[in-house]
Chain A
Amino acid sequence: MSGQQTGTEVVEPQEPMVIQQLRGKFSDHILTVIDQRGELSVVVDKDASFQILEFLKVDSNLSYDFLVDVTAIDYSQMEDVLIEYGYARYMLVYHLNCFPTNERLRLKVPVSEKDLTIKSVVALWDSANWLEREVYDMFGINFDGHPDLRRILMPDNFEGFPLRKDYPLRGRGEREKFNFGRENV
């Protein structure tokens, strides 16, 4: 029968431990928490992103000791996302894995086009070195404190950032007239 009181209170589903800890320590900096079928994504603001990543790695309860991937998304053509995060064009994405518990966490950081610099996490995970170079190469996001920030996939003299949405698929003539001198070899 509908509407019958069963005597039990409706219990809010409890947030995972890591989210609770993050909320306790960085409540002002957490913008969104998405839990889709057990896949956790946390959107945090840029100012605290390094502290949060450091907390996630160093704190023994969490110890996300493996940085799986660093990548970025250009949301310039997705109005709803732009509105949600104050017209920050790029979203930097960190994928973390915790070896002891095999738990994963995705951390997203909106990066505005006005300030395309974010603190490098090479100091925390060595694997960030090449991953951040790839993001720099493809999106033009700079990483403050990176030991060797130069292009990794495209040739050194390449101009433009190919994974930005305003970059034409067939390029701007690079493949037709690239520098083919022997000094390039």
Chain B
Amino acid sequence: MGLESKLGDSFLTTTIDKVVNWGRKNSLWPMPFGTACCAIEMMATLATKFDLSRFGAEAIRFSPRQSDLMIVSGRISIKMMPVLRKIYDQMPEPKWVISMGACASCGGVFDTYTLVQGVDQFIPVDVYVPGCPPRPEDLIDAVMQIQKLIGDETVSVARMAKREEISQATLG
């Protein structure tokens, strides 16, 4: 790098929160939960033209155990919802959720017997992306909102306690 040679024997001071959050928000590993056309936009976001790697979030992991950002992009039926919940549960803390598009956020135009009217009934959602489907810029904006959220957080246990509270409430 060469940076070390310039710094020499000097040092800098900061806080644990700042260092950890800096690392977390610039290396998000998304878990794609693509079930419909929003997933196509998500792929476009990851591809060269929009290139989510500019925001450090290009390392898509298809294993929930290696990821910390869930992108719910598409319709979730009542048969799929337990699967989504299980994958969400398998993701290690800390984790964040983007509800991408109208269907994931509120059911969209599918006001029918089989469709969950918003995944936030069952998992805690951090950022909602409006649109049908949202453009890649919207998803990039959502990732940046997540980064902002992470920047405001602390590594203390308070966050997990809050999450557990929501988790219990949604499980009923």
Chain A, range 128-151, C-beta contacts under 8 Å to B = none
At the interface, is chain A mostly helix, strand, loop or mixed? Answer: loop
How would residues 61 to 87 of chain B score, 1 for a CB under 8 Å from any chain A CB and 0 otherwise? 000000000000000001101110110
Among B78, B82, B83, B117, the one with the most A-chain Cβ atoms within 10 Å of its Cβ is B78
**A168 in contact (CB, < 8 A):** yes
| A132–B111 alpha-carbon span in the complex (Å) | 26
How would residues 168 to 185 of chain A score, 1 for a CB under 8 Å from any chain B CB and 0 otherwise? 111110110010101011
| A178–B79 alpha-carbon span in the complex (Å) | 9
How would residues 103 to 136 of chain A score, 1 for a CB under 8 Å from any chain B CB and 0 otherwise? 0000000000000000000000000000000000
Indicate which residue in A167, A169, A180 contacts B81 across the interface (CB closer than 8 Å).
A180
**B171 in contact (CB, < 8 A):** yes
Contact A155 B79 (CB under 8 A): yes
**A171 with B85: in contact, given A155-B78, A178-B78 (CB under 8 Å)?**
no
| A155–B83 alpha-carbon span in the complex (Å) | 12
How would residues 156 to 172 of chain B score, 1 for a CB under 8 Å from any chain A CB and 0 otherwise? 00000000000000011
Indicate which residue in B78, B82, B171 contacts A185 across the interface (CB closer than 8 Å).
B82
Q: Which residues of B contact A172 (CB under 8 A)?
A: 113
**B115 in contact (CB, < 8 A):** yes
Chain B, range 10-47, C-beta contacts under 8 Å to A = none
Chain B, range 133-172, C-beta contacts under 8 Å to A = 171-172
Contact B113 A169 (CB under 8 A): yes
Q: Which residues of B contact A168 (CB under 8 A)?
A: 113
**A31 in contact (CB, < 8 A):** no
Q: Nearest-CB distance from B164 to chain A (Å)?
A: 16
Residue of B nearest to A173 (CB): B113
Contact A171 B112 (CB under 8 A): yes
**B116 in contact (CB, < 8 A):** yes
Indicate which residue in B82, B83, B112, B171 contacts A169 across the interface (CB closer than 8 Å).
B112
**A154 in contact (CB, < 8 A):** yes
Q: Which residues of B contact A182 (CB under 8 A)?
A: 82, 86
Contact B113 A175 (CB under 8 A): yes
Q: Nearest-CB distance from B168 to chain A (Å)?
A: 13
Contact B116 A175 (CB under 8 A): yes
Chain A contact residues, CB within 8 Å of chain B: 153-155, 162, 167-172, 174-175, 178, 180, 182, 184-185
Chain B contact residues, CB within 8 Å of chain A: 78-79, 81-83, 85-86, 111-117, 122, 171-172
- 21 A-B pairs with CB atoms under 8 Å apart are A154-B79, A154-B114, A167-B113, A168-B113, A169-B112, A169-B113, A170-B111, A171-B112, A171-B114, A174-B78, A174-B114, A175-B113, A175-B114, A175-B115, A180-B82, A180-B122, A180-B171, A182-B82, A182-B86, A185-B83, A185-B86
What 8 new A-B contacts, CB under 8 Å, besides A154-B79, A167-B113, A175-B78?
A162-B114, A170-B112, A170-B113, A174-B78, A175-B115, A180-B171, A182-B86, A185-B83
